[in-house]
Structure formats: C-alpha cells, structure tokens
Amino acid sequence: MGKKIKILINCLFIIFICLFLTSCTKINIKLKDNGKITDYTTNKMTVRDFFEDNDIEIGKDDEVSLSLDSPISDGDKIVITRIKTRNIKRTKKIKFKKETKYSSELYEGESKTEQKGQNGKYVITYYYKYINGYLKEKKVIGKKVLKNPKSEIVIIGTKKKYNPPKNKGNTGNNTTGPREVSRQKVYDCDGSGHGYYVITYSDGSVKYKNF
C-alpha cells in the first residue's frame, strides 16, 4: 500500500513540474490580423488560449490560418483574415412606356392624352463582401417589383380637314394714282453731259430727276 502511494506522489510531482515548466516557458509568435503584423510573447500552448489571453475576438465569418485547438510553438505565424458580408437594398424606378393610338374622330394635327403615364418601382438587393476592409465581391442576389408602371396613351387624329376651293377670279394688280405722261431731258449748260428730267404726270403734276 505504501509503495502505491509513493508511486502516486511521484507522478503528481512530475505533472506539477511539467505544468510549472510549461507556465514559465515563453515563446515568440507573429500574428497577422486584418493585414497588420504584430509580434507577441506568450506562454499559452494553443491558438484558442492565446486569443483569449490577448482578448482577440474571431467573427463568425473570419478565417484563421490555424485551427483554434492547434498547438503553437516558437516562431509560428498566425494569420487572421477578417471577412464581413452585408446585403443592401436599393429602390429603383421603372420608366413607363408611351403608346400611340389613331382615331378618325380627331382631325389631322390634333391629339389628346387618353391615359397619363406613371412610373413603377422595384427593389434590388446587392451582396457585398469585404476582406480586411476592402470590397472584394459585389453581386445582385434578388429583385422584386413593388409597383408596375402604367403606360401613357396618346390618341392622334386622322380625320381630313375640308378646305374650300380658292376663288380663281381676276388677280390682276389694280394700281391707283397718277401715271407718267411725258419725260423731257434737259442738259446742264457746262457741257458736262449731266442734267435733269422734267416728268409730267396725268394729274398735271411735274417732278424733276437728275441724271
């Protein structure tokens, strides 16, 4: 019985020594988090313990180069890739169409709006993925029509207009006023060849015009 107790005490002592040595052993590792590299000195033996000891949180979409239960040793490098995703909804317009109808109830050149156009709208959902703060992926993951557009309808007339025939009577020019009866040329006395006209009209008036 005493021999068994002695063996048990020796085992416990060995375990204690191992735990003591482990707690005193310091290792150096590098952590690359969100693109930034930091040097750490730790006595923790697993990735999980190291993260907890340094208050490093891992998001549900984040990726770690080593599993959380992996042992770590001196000189190791742990890489954390921060990943964030989100969905964003945008409301956009659906432009209404224009339709044309023709009617003989309206004259040519006339038109009227039978129905006013109304725009519709739809919602589109985008998916965004960011890696270490940078947008790496964007895509459409859904579309839904909220309101259908209403077409604008315009009626254009086709009815011919009646144009009465034009009067083809006398279209000659009827001029009034005195007419020229005679024109007499009178030269200047200086021999220059210049002079003036003496113009007589039917009403007896006389006018002079140089030449």
- Residue 201 confidence class, pLDDT cut points 50, 70, 90: confident
pLDDT of residue 177: 73
pLDDT of residue 48: 96
Mean pLDDT of the chain: 85
pLDDT higher than 80, residue 16: no
Average pLDDT over residues 181-210: 77
Give the residue from 31, 30, 29, 70 showing the smallest Cα distance to 48.
70
What digits encode the pLDDT tens for the residues 29-70? 999 999 999 999 999 999 999 999 999 999 999 999 999 999
pLDDT higher than 90, residue 79: yes
Average pLDDT over residues 106-128: 95
Specify whether the CB–CB gap between 123 and 91 falls below 8 A: yes
The Cα–Cα gap between 153 and 60 comes to 54
Strand bridging mode 98-107 / 83-94 = unpaired
pLDDT of residue 171: 47
Q: What percent of the chain has pLDDT over 70?
A: 81
Residue spans per domain, the chain: 24-81, 85-159, 180-210
| CATH architecture, range 85-159 | Single Sheet (2.20)
Question: Residue 11: enclosing H or E segment and its boundaries?
Answer: helix 2-24
pLDDT of residue 74: 95
The Cα–Cα gap between 70 and 49 comes to 10
Domain 24-81: which CATH number of 3.50.50.60, 3.10.20.30, 3.30.160.250, 1.10.1370.10: 3.10.20.30
Domain 85-159 in the same topology as domain 24-81: no
pLDDT of residue 180: 86
What digits encode the pLDDT tens for the residues 158-187? 988 877 666 554 444 445 678 888 888 777
